[in-house]
Structure 1
Amino acid sequence: MMDLKQINIGQLLENSVKENHIKIESLCGFFNCEAKQIEQMYSADALNTDILIKWSQLLQYDFFRLYSQHLVLYAPPNANRYNQVEIKKKVHTQELQVRKNIYTKEIIEFIIRRINKGEMTREEIISKYRIPKTTLYKWLNKYSEYMEE
Structure 2
Amino acid sequence: MNLKNLNIGSLIKDSVSKNEIDISRICNFFNCTEKEVLEMYSSPSLDTEVLLRWSKLLEYDFFRLYSQHLILYAPQSSMEYVQKKKVDSSLPAFRKNLYTKEIVEFVLEKIKKGEMTKSEVITKYKIPRNTLYNWLVKYNE
TM score, norm. by length of structure 2: 0.86
Residue 104 (structure 2) pairs with residue 108 (structure 1):
yes
State how many pairs are aligned: 134
1:124 is matched with: 120
Question: Structure 1 unaligned runs (5+)?
Answer: 91-96
Residue 15 (structure 2) pairs with residue 19 (structure 1):
no
Cα distance in structure 1, aligned partners of 2:12 and 2:137: 34
**Per-residue Cα deviation, 1:91-134 (whole angstroms, up to 9, x for no partner):** xxxxxx98356111110011011111111111100000011111
1:30 is matched with: 29
1:115–1:81 distance in 2 versus 1, CA, 3 Å: closer
1:71 is matched with: 70
**Per-residue Cα deviation, 1:14-54 (whole angstroms, up to 9, x for no partner):** 11111111011110111111111111111110001110010
Cα distance in structure 2, aligned partners of 1:99 and 1:108: 19
The structure carrying a bigger helix percent of its residues is 1
**Contact 2:27–2:37 (Cα < 8 Å) also in 1:** yes
2:58 is matched with: 59
Cα distance in structure 2, aligned partners of 1:84 and 1:64: 27
Cα distance in structure 1, aligned partners of 2:31 and 2:94: 43
TM score, norm. by length of structure 1: 0.81
1:85 is matched with: 83
Question: Structure 2 unaligned runs (5+)?
Answer: 87-92
**Per-residue Cα deviation, 1:67-111 (whole angstroms, up to 9, x for no partner):** 1111111116xx62579523xx56xxxxxx983561111100110
Letter in 1 for 2:8: I
Deviating runs (4+, > 6 A) in structure 1? none
1:14–1:98 distance in 2 versus 1, CA, 3 Å: closer
**Contact 1:112–1:144 (Cα < 8 Å) also in 2:** no
CA RMSD of aligned residues (A): 2.2
> Identity of paired residues, percent?
56
| Superposition deviation, residue 144 in structure 1 | 4.0
